[in-house]
Amino acid sequence: MAKIMIVDDSPADLRFMGDILTRTPHAVTPVNNPLDVEATAAREVPDLILLDVVMPERNGYEVLRGLKRQEGMERVKVVFVSSKGGETDVKWGLRQGAVDYLIKPYTAEQVLAVLARHL
């Protein structure tokens, strides 16, 4: 069983992703405020973070850079989950250090495939 953290400012998106992940044996921690990610990650030490890109106050790229500077987070895998699905968006996300990129709207099968690839 892995620990998965979902980060999204949209309650509907958090709920949808959470519903998909309840089909798995993994422990899930939802976070709806990008300012809380580092503290929650330090406390929970997730194996994988599903991270939205477009959020108020702090976008996903900023959150990822903050996580990478945090001691103990070097091995945490981050997957961007975003409606920004252009080729340059995906390439930029991967250059920032994400291991994968999931484009909204996504299906349960796509989410489970991402988990299979990285856990």
pLDDT in tens, the chain (119 residues): 999 999 999 999 999 999 999 999 999 999 999 999 999 999 999 999 999 999 999 999 999 999 999 998 989 999 999 999 999 999 999 999 999 999 999 999 999 999 999 99
Strand order in the sheet with 48-52: 27-31, 3-7, 48-52, 77-82, 100-103
Q: How many H-runs (helices) and E-runs (strands) does the chain carry?
A: 5, 5
Q: Residue 81's pLDDT is what?
A: 98
- Amino acid at site 70: Q
Q: Residue 34's pLDDT is what?
A: 97
Q: Residue 74's pLDDT is what?
A: 86
Q: Residue 114's pLDDT is what?
A: 98
Q: Residue 32's pLDDT is what?
A: 97
77-82 and 27-31: which strand pairing? unpaired
Q: Residue 84's pLDDT is what?
A: 95
What's the farthest any 2 CA atoms get from each other in the chain?
34
Burial 16-33 (b: 16+ CB within 10 A, else e): bbeebbeebebebbbbee
Residues 6+ apart with CB under 8 A from 112: 20, 23, 24
- Amino acid at site 45: V
Assigned CATH class of 3-118: alpha beta
